[in-house]
Amino acid sequence: MTMDTIVSLCKRRGFIFQSSEIYGGAGSCWDYGPLGVELKNNIKRVWWRDTVHLRPDMVGLDASILMHPTVWKASGHVDHFSDPMVDCRACRRRFRADKLDETPWVHFCPTKTDARFDVPAGEPCRHCGARRTLCPECGKGELTPPRQFNLMFKTYTGPVEEDAALTYLRPETAQGIFVNFDNVLQSMRLKLPFGIAQIGKSFRNEITPGNFIFRTREFEQMEIEFFVNPNETIDGRPADEVWHERWIEERLAWYHRYGIRPENLRVREHEKEELAHYAKRTADIEYRFPIGWSELEGIANRTDYDLKQHARFSGKSLTYFDEERKTHVVPYVIEPSAGADRSLLAFLVDAYREEEVRGEKRVVLRLHQDIAPTKIAVLPLLKKRGEIVATAHEIRSLLARWWVTVYDDTAAIGRLYRRQDEVGTPYCVTVDVQTVGDVDKGEAGDQRVTIRDRDSMQQIRVPIAELPTVFRQLLDGGTWQQVGGRYGIGG
């Protein structure tokens, strides 16, 4: 499966659209459609539930995107958050100097006339043996020497565009947590170790964004800053190192729990020279995307760097009083930093299956039920029968009080099932003639409906009155075999 398969499904079925598409699109900006927003909200909701609500050692925060500009001096972003860039003197395109040899390049070979070749990334010309020195896109222009280009989006607060009003759209949510460390500590009377979690938008003026929602200039982060007492040990080892390992395990388990296959996940340790200047150790959780193994989440030990920097620049004390040792300490920070958009892409890619069912292709998203955008679809077998349609609408209204439930009668039942499979709806409810009976023939309905399971395509017949109970069991961890078994599973 390629990224194009996913991009096309996302557009066709209302998950993700290109931003400003009617104007030709805005580069690497994407809009989440009706199903995409449900899917993304579900991912954020389960992350928040598992990270904040289910843990006794965690609290939440929602800091503002615009902050005091000195925050970014203290964090190092003003001085260090930049990429080396080169420009083509002919076509004016701009490239990251350190990524030049990772893209294919255009070459006009001197050994041939009118020969324009696309040479694979990092390889020399097969004919003359030359390596790329010119612009990889136009193949003609010379490149300027590298210059540092800061990745933060600049903006101005207030009506005057002057340097005094200059600030930035935050490039990470983390700093909003660090500058609130003391507020949260004091107001919530917390004891180390504890974490502060936050979900929010961040902005980076990436020079080479791309690969759909994998790398975008505006993105949503799900970040935890977990504060640990560096003087403590656990089983004779520094507490920060033990907590770092625990978080790597926990985050890996989280992706497994919501359906990502273990063989598509791996942990990659950062090399010494790759580590950020503040980091003691960083491990990435990588996912096998259609573009290859790439970072899904980074888990860094940021040490006491950020709190110390903010203490220095603000003149405020950002310490914790260690009652046991009667000393003030600056906590160490373990930071599991996940991307909501990237997670969504990984969940989509991993759930995507093409199956053969009775000689026909079935596309199915085997999304975990907690993150599936729609939980239940109610479908009338015949849309010409008024009682069937009315009953289906009633069932939809009933179930929609607890779960995202849709009604669809725009095709024959086989088509309707396929459409729900393709967007990952775990269960369909079908209302048929038997349900409502036939008034003309004097037959009473049995007030039962069919529930169809997405993954097995098996069916059970359930009294309408029992639907809330059955779905409460099915959608709260019960298996189809357990719950469906009581009603006699059929094919």
Residues in the site for Zn ion, rule: CB under 5 A? 88, 90-91, 109, 125, 127-128, 130, 135, 138, 141
CB 167 within 8 A of CB 155: yes
Smallest gap from Cβ 137 to Zn ion, in A, equals 5
Smallest gap from Cβ 132 to Zn ion, in A, equals 10
d(CA 383, CA 139): 61
Smallest gap from Cβ 133 to Zn ion, in A, equals 12
Angle at CA of residue 428, ends 451 and 401, nearest 5° = 100
Nearer to Zn ion, 125 or 399 (CB): 125
Residue of 422, 48, 403, 1 whose CA lies nearest to 220: 48
Smallest gap from Cβ 204 to Zn ion, in A, equals 24
Smallest gap from Cβ 103 to Zn ion, in A, equals 12
Nearer to Zn ion, 127 or 385 (CB): 127
> Using only C-alpha atoms, what is the Rg of the chain?
27
3-state secondary structure of 163: helix
Nearer to Zn ion, 138 or 457 (CB): 138
- Any bridge partners for residue 105, and if so which? 119
Rounded to an integer, what is the distance from CA 353 to the centroid of its chain?
20
Nearer to Zn ion, 78 or 207 (CB): 207
Question: For residue 292, what are the contacts with CB-CB under 8 A and spacing of at least 6?
Answer: none
Q: Which two three-digit tokens encode residue 195?
A: 């974490």
Nearer to Zn ion, 135 or 174 (CB): 135
The DSSP letter of residue 98 is G
Nearer to Zn ion, 103 or 155 (CB): 103
Smallest gap from Cβ 478 to Zn ion, in A, equals 59
Question: For residue 273, what are the contacts with CB-CB under 8 A and spacing of at least 6?
Answer: none
Smallest gap from Cβ 115 to Zn ion, in A, equals 8
- Any bridge partners for residue 143, and if so which? 88
d(CA 449, CA 427): 12
Residue 43 amino acid letter = I
Nearer to Zn ion, 87 or 232 (CB): 87
